[in-house]
Amino acid sequence: MTRFVLGRIGFSTLIAVLLAFFTLPLLWLASAPLTSDPTYKVSVPDFTWENFQTILEHPYALPSLYNSLVLSVGTALVVVLLAALAAYALSRVHLPGRDVLLYVLLLLSSIITGTAAMVPLFQLAVDLQLIDSQFGLILILSGGLLPAAIFMLKDFMDATPKSYEESARVFGATPLQIVRHVVVPLVRPGLATIAVWSVANVWGNFLMPFLLLRDVEKQPAAVIMYTLYTEGGQANLRLLSTFGLLYSVPVVVMYLIVSKKYGFRFHGGIKR
Amino acid sequence: MAAIELRGLTKVYPGGVRALDALDLVIPDGEFFALLGPSGCGKTTLLRTIAGLETATGGSVVIGERDVTGVQPGGRDVAMVFQDYALFPHMDVTDNIAYPLRIKKVAKAARQAKAAEVGARLGLDHLMDRRPGQLSGGQQQRVALARVMATQAQAFLFDEPLSNLDARLRLEARTFLKKLQRELGVTTVFVTHDQAEALAMADRMAVMEAGHIRQIGTPAEVFQRPANTFVAAFIGSTPMNLLDGVVRGGTLEVAGCALPVPTSAQGLLADGEKIVYGVRPEYNAYASEPAEDALGGKVVIMENLGASHLVTLDVNDVLVQAIVPEGREPAIGEQGWAVPRRDRALVYRDGELVAG
Ligand SMILES: Nc1ncnc2c1ncn2[C@@H]1O[C@H](COP(=O)(O)OP(=O)(O)O)[C@@H](O)[C@H]1O
Ligand SMILES: [Mg+2]
């Protein structure tokens, strides 16, 4: 009996320590912006709005959040649209070597937007005059995300019985009508997952915008974050924490909304 | 409404499976036609080729007066019920039934009114707001029927629409479907692997085997005079007795017993010829006393069919089955005699029916 109680106490303590490990940074993120002189320690805030005031007056902070929004939503749209069409075609048309193609694409995709391809990508962007252009950046980011997105969506498409589409075909629906009326609604959880995943990916991407955007007015929040230092080269904790909070809230809100509406799933299958 | 005509229809799948082999078939306007055959014989392929979901390798499909062989599925003016019903899971019953009208660009109010009308006719009025996932199998089946009815197509194609229902419901749905088809008068091709279903529902039927049609006729013709031993063995809830025999003078020697030549084969047999003697258990009278022109042996198995029993006799090591009515069941091990009805027994030569 005693052993059991001791065991329970030990287990609960372990969980508490683990939880604290992950909770502390979040707590810090919640309290530091409201503190006049934050340190690396979590402290009871004195509820000042001064830090938010400063961020609002910062010339690049709020615009950078808007830039992040443009980049991530733009990329998500391109990825969802192209991945849906490609995954549908790949799922329904049997090409020789299709699976090999998919795996190779998936493998290469991790390189495309990774550090390894930095120099050639930069070169390419310069040659195509896509340097310092948000549109160009959206295309490149989409290119990096598409293979994985196609791969995931194809699984959803594969799990959708063909008879739905065939039934619509016999009623006279055109291929685009079939995609709009039947396929898209059936794989909607998949599309939502891909969209959120794309947004989150772009939202947190530092390297690509840092590399390909020159104009500081076009930079997204992830890059601006690195400029929030004091004159002495120290991290400006007041600004960093406040900006960090503003930076993370949209992603959390988006996740909650989409999760409630569609539920996240990374595999196919139909919820009837 | 329109007739369906298939001329030399052939379908070879990539990989070489010859699912349909030069099939000829005419289904007159308004007929309820059943396609019967074992699993894998090409029934679904035939239906899908008529619908245009598969392209024919050879031959042609004519619906009404129109050759539609090269026409897309949507342009053929047929409606199909799939084996899994293919009801759209994300649409409610109204939207499912109205979907064909949506494709035809019928205004929303008009198509919802039509869906309500058809739904009410099939007893779905209280279910119109549900999703297919919230319906029982029988209800889903009726929604699928309502959806094809809403199309007002020239012909209906049903792929085993009853096979997903449990046994009791299947009988009800059978009667319902037959009545509905009568009332609508739409040419209907109905695929099934269940011979009882085909016999019960069809105006005419075709029995298929490995991409070929082995017999076409009314259910009565197919049941009473199967054109070959394949059909004979496939049709009937109790399989036909198919016994090897030899023609000896004016009689047939079957399982060591002498039987008279059946009426249908009279004067068509040569002496010494090897034949197969066919008689359904239903057409074998059972006698517990020695009888003339009978197959005599020992009772080895008794199977209860409800109102009657199926008796299996061991006649010189050949098994012969007969039906005994209620109250006259013999005991296992007794001697018994199966007396074939001469006007119902059949003779097959090389697998084909011998008949004038
Ligand atoms: N898409 C396909 N590709 C290759 N062979 C097929 C395809 N569909 C069916 N077959 C083959 O064609 C034959 C007939 O199939 P099917 O028409 O489905 O039979 P049934 O409906 O009578 O059970 C079978 O041998 C089956 O394996
Ligand atoms: Mg089939």
The average pLDDT across A13-30 equals 87
Select from B75, B103, B151 the Cβ nearest to the Cβ of A177: B103
DSSP, res A210: H
Give the model's pLDDT for residue B338. 93
Tell whether the model's pLDDT for residue B311 goes beyond 90.
yes
Residues B245 and B223 in one domain: no
pLDDT of res. A268: 53
Tens of pLDDT, residues A75-94: 999 999 999 999 988 888 88
Does the CB of B52 have a partner CB in chain A at under 8 Å? yes
- CA-CA-CA-CA torsion sign (A61, A66, A71, A76): positive
Q: Between B262 and A229, where is the model more confident?
A: B262
pLDDT of residue A96: 84
Within this chain, do residues B250 and B153 fall inside the same structural domain, yes or no?
Answer: no
Q: Is the pLDDT of residue A20 over 50?
A: yes
Would residue B26 count as lying in a domain?
Answer: yes
**Domain containing B124: what range?**
4-228
Q: Which atom belonging to ligand 1 lies closest to the Cα atom of B193? A: 22
- What are the φ and ψ backbone dihedral angles of A150, each rounded to 5 degrees? -60, -45
pLDDT of residue B143: 93
pTM, rounded to two decimals: 0.80
Please report where in the chains the tokens 């799990």 appear, as a residue. A159
Q: Which of B99, B130, B158 to mutate to test the interface with A (most CBs of A within 10 A)?
A: B99
Both tokens of B192, joined, read: 């099934």
Given a cut of 80, whether residue B8 has pLDDT beyond it is: yes
Question: Where a domain ends, among B228, B262, B292?
Answer: B228
| Domains: count for chain B | 2
**pLDDT of res. B355:** 83
Same domain, residue pair B297 and B174: no
- The structural domains of chain A, ordered by start, are 53-262 (1.10.3720.10)
Counting one residue from A and one from B, how many pairs have CB atoms under 8 Å apart? 61
pLDDT for residue B27: 94
pLDDT above 70 coverage of chain A, percent: 93
Q: Which amino acid belongs to residue B196?
A: A
SS3 call for A270: coil
Ligand 1 binding site (Cβ under 6 Å of any ligand atom): B 13, 15, 17, 19, 37, 39-45
Atom 6 of ligand 1 has which residue's CA nearest to it?
A: B13
For residues B25 and A20, which has the higher predicted lDDT (pLDDT)?
B25
CATH number where B274 lies: 2.40.50.140
The answer to whether the beta carbons of residues B8 and B24 sit under 8 Å apart is yes
Q: Binning pLDDT at 50, 70 and 90, where does residue B63 land?
A: very high
User: Does any CB of chain B come closer than 8 Å to the CB of residue A94?
Assistant: no
pLDDT at A270 over 60: no
User: What residue's CA is closest to ligand 1, atom 12?
Assistant: B19
**A272: confidence class by pLDDT, cuts 50, 70, 90:** very low
Contact B191, B43 (CB under 8 A): yes
Percent share of chain B, pLDDT over 90: 65
pLDDT at B183: 87
pLDDT at B316 over 70: yes
Read off the pLDDT band of B1 (50, 70, 90).
low
Decide which of B197, B228, B259 is a domain's last residue.
B228
Report yes or no on B263 lying in a domain: yes
Band (pLDDT 50/70/90 cuts) for residue B144 is very high
- How far apart, in Å, are the Cα atoms of B352 and each of B252, B275, B276, B347? 17, 10, 9, 8
Q: Are residues B69 and B217 in the same domain?
A: yes
**Predicted local distance difference test score (pLDDT) of residue B19:** 92
Closest by Cβ to B82, choosing from A167, A172, A271 = A167
Residue B75 near chain A (CB below 8 Å): yes
Q: Among B203, B228, B253, where does a domain finish? A: B228
Q: Give the residue whose CA is nearest to atom 25 of ligand 1.
A: B40
Query: What does the pLDDT average to over B14-42?
Result: 92
The answer to whether residue B70 is domain-embedded is yes
pLDDT digit string, tens, across residues A197-254: 999 999 989 888 988 888 888 889 888 888 877 667 777 788 888 888 888 888 888 8
User: Are B140 and B260 members of one domain?
Assistant: no
Q: Is the pLDDT of residue B204 over 90?
A: yes
Integer angstrom CA distances of residue A64 from A77, A135, A219, A235, A243:
20, 16, 6, 19, 11
Q: Quote the pLDDT of residue A240.
A: 84
Report CA(A83)–ligand 2 centroid distance (Å): 33
Name B352's bridge partners.
Answer: B228, B349
Domain membership flag for residue B235: no
pLDDT at A221: 87
For chain A, the first-to-last Cα distance in angstroms comes to 48
CB contact under 8 A, B90 and A186: yes
**Among A199, A165, A197, A169, residue whose Cα is nearest residue A73:** A199
Could you tell me the distance, in angstroms and rounded to a whole number, from the CA of residue B5 to the centre of ligand 1? 22
- Whether B234 is in a domain gets the answer no
ipTM exceeding the 0.85 mark: no
Integer angstrom CA distances of residue A79 from A71, A90, B108: 12, 16, 33
B275 and B343 in a single domain? The answer is yes
Same domain, residue pair B224 and B246: no
In this predicted structure, which of A254-258, B212-216, B314-318 has the lowest mean pLDDT? A254-258
Per-residue confidence band for A23, with pLDDT thresholds at 50, 70 and 90 = confident
Same domain membership, residue B346 and residue B203: no
- Kindly identify which residue of chain B lies nearest to residue A175, measuring between CA atoms: B74
Q: How far is CA B57 from CA B14, B45, B52, B61, B72, in A?
A: 10, 12, 12, 12, 15
In this predicted structure, what is the pLDDT of residue B304? 92
In Å, the largest CA–CA distance within chain A is: 74
Q: pLDDT: is B305 or A229 the higher one?
A: B305
B132 to chain A, any CB pair closer than 8 A? The answer is yes
List, in order, residues 6 or more apart from A119 with CB less than 8 Å away: none
pLDDT at A104: 87
Whether B233 maps to a domain, the answer reads: no
- Same structural domain, B10 and B86: yes
- A171 vs B: CB within 8 A: yes
Same domain, B180 and B282: no
Are B220 and B252 within one domain? Answer: no
Instruction: Tell me the average pLDDT of chain A.
Output: 85
Q: Taking 60 as the threshold, does the pLDDT of residue B86 lie above it? A: yes
**pLDDT tops 70 at residue A113:** no
pLDDT digits (tens, 9 = 90+) for B152-186: 888 999 999 888 888 888 888 888 888 888 888 89
Task: Check which CATH number belongs to the domain holding B62 and give it.
Answer: 3.40.50.300
Say if residue B89 is in the same domain as residue B155.
yes
